Amino acid sequence: MKKTFVSKEKLEEIIREIPTPFHIYDEKGIRENARLLKKAFSWNQGFREYFAVKAEPNPVILKILKEEGCGCDCSSITELMMAKAIGNGGSLTMFSSNDTPDEEYVFANDMGAIINLDDITMIESFEKTVGRFPKTMCCRYNPGGVFKVSNDIMDTPGDAKYGMTTEQIYEAFRILKEKGVENFGIHSFLVSNAVTNDYYPMLAKLLFELAVDLQKKIGCHISFINLSGGIGIPYKPEDQPNDILAIGEGVRKVYEEILVPAGMGDVAIYTELGRFMTGPYGALVTRAIHEKNIMKHYIGVDACACNLMRPAMYGAYHHITVMGKEDAPLTEKYDVTGSLCENNDKFAVDRMLPKIDMGDLLYIHDTGAHGFAMGYNYNGKLRSAEVLLHEDGSFEKIRRAEVPADYFATFSELPIYKTLMEEAAAD
Ligand SMILES: *Cc1c(COP(=O)(O)O)cnc(C)c1O
């Protein structure tokens, strides 16, 4: 059974101050998990996790992870600004972008971030806009084809837009070395939400072999290998969680087989995990506000896909607990819906749940990564608040809910703006 990290009583206390819907995060869970990851890779001297900011872009969360030794992995200038603001300047930030606007390289370079080039043409773009190359550069690799663990096809890198081909990455390293780059990193992201302990070790093997060959053929110094994100979490009650200690050991084994004999035992391992770091430690709290019986039985809640897009976008499963009814029998089959004028705005379809009464609190699990972050404003819906549950049980609003004035703010240059703001103020 999947557990909630907060009690019904605590939620009711929070709701007196911060109305539903909101995302809530568990500081204790985030810290303990970050420590476990660190332990799993403690055999590697230079190990660092660069938290994928896009998964949960809140500076308070970034700061907590910084305290646990994590850097930031950014994909845009806005994320870079947050990383810089929380003190992750210099090599504590990785800039793993793609289709990158030139000016973002300037910002990333100015703050001293490690630049991860997605494409060979970016060498020229970078030189043209930034000028000199920093001493350390990283390149993103795409091996193409299909990526299998045992006989299961995990994903098809050949269809992915990211990274450089094998031929290109050799060429890129050659050019960068000529231009004075001294330390090199290799990065690759092949599988998302991998629920297997074998993904990282297999990816590591691929990248370690490439690293040995690049070092031999180009004569460049490889200082780190970035295994990026992709470690999954158990969204469904029957999913087996990954064992991060086993994953760390699996990577160590290939490290000792491939890198150490090649005299490359000083290579640092980096990760850019998002989902694994915060996913299970966040939940969307929403209230049942309508019940509708037509061809199907619907429960309408006060959150919608704008607060959590994954079910609508990918048909993703998010477990739901009806607070206070944890042990009640699952007698009803519901579709749990939001209020968007979109029929895919459903948090659950044909889900067996206890009988829901209007006003019940629903706790939608595992929204701590790619949850709030993927929010949007369709139908004029506003983004929710974010709440942090501290280790001592106290709570803190780490982002207020949007109000209509926020939605109207980008009309500020139009004559109608004043009227809109009058409406917002009168509401
Ligand atoms: C999305 C992303 C991550 C994080 O992915 P998770 O699946 O959340 O672990 C890491 N690196 C890059 C470049 C990404 O695009």
According to the 3-state scheme, what is the secondary structure of 135-152? CEEEEEECCCCCEEECCE
Structure tokens at 390: 């501290």
- Measured in Å, residue 118 CA sits from the centre of ligand 1 at 14
- CB of 192 closer than 6 angstroms to any ligand 1 atom: yes
Instruction: For residue 194, report the distance from its CA to the centre of ligand 1, in Å.
Output: 12
- Cβ distance 303 to 21 under 8 Å? yes
Distance CA 37, CA 246 (A): 11
Output the pLDDT for position 35. Answer: 98
Nearest atom, ligand 1, residue 54 CA: 1
Enumerate residue ranges in the chain where pLDDT < 70.
none
- 297 C-alpha to center of ligand 1: Å? 37
CB-side exposure of 76: number of CA atoms within 13 Å?
6
Question: In this predicted structure, what is the pLDDT of residue 153?
Answer: 81
Cβ–ligand 1 contact at 338 (below 6 Å): no
> Ligand 1 centroid to 274 CA: how many Å?
6
Q: Give the separation between CA 196 and CA 229, rounded to whole angstroms.
A: 13
Find the Cα–Cα–Cα–Cα dihedral 237, 239, 244, 250, rounded to 10°: 170
- Please count the residues of the chain: 427
**DSSP of 375-402:** ---GGG----EEEEE-TTS-EEEEEPPP
- Assess whether the C-beta atom of 274 lies below 6 angstroms from ligand 1: yes
How distant is the alpha carbon of residue 49 from its chain centre?
A: 12
* Predicted confidence (pLDDT) per residue in 23-53, tens digit: 999 999 999 999 999 999 999 999 999 999 9
**Per-residue confidence (pLDDT) for residue 151, from 0 to 100:** 74
Q: Whose CA is nearest to atom 3 of ligand 1?
A: 229
Q: What is the pLDDT of residue 150?
A: 74
Position 148 scores a pLDDT of 86
Ligand 1 contact, 310 CB (< 6 A) = no
Would the CB of 229 count as within 6 Å of ligand 1? Answer: yes
Q: DSSP E strands: which ranges in 135-200? A: 136-140, 147-149, 152-155, 183-187
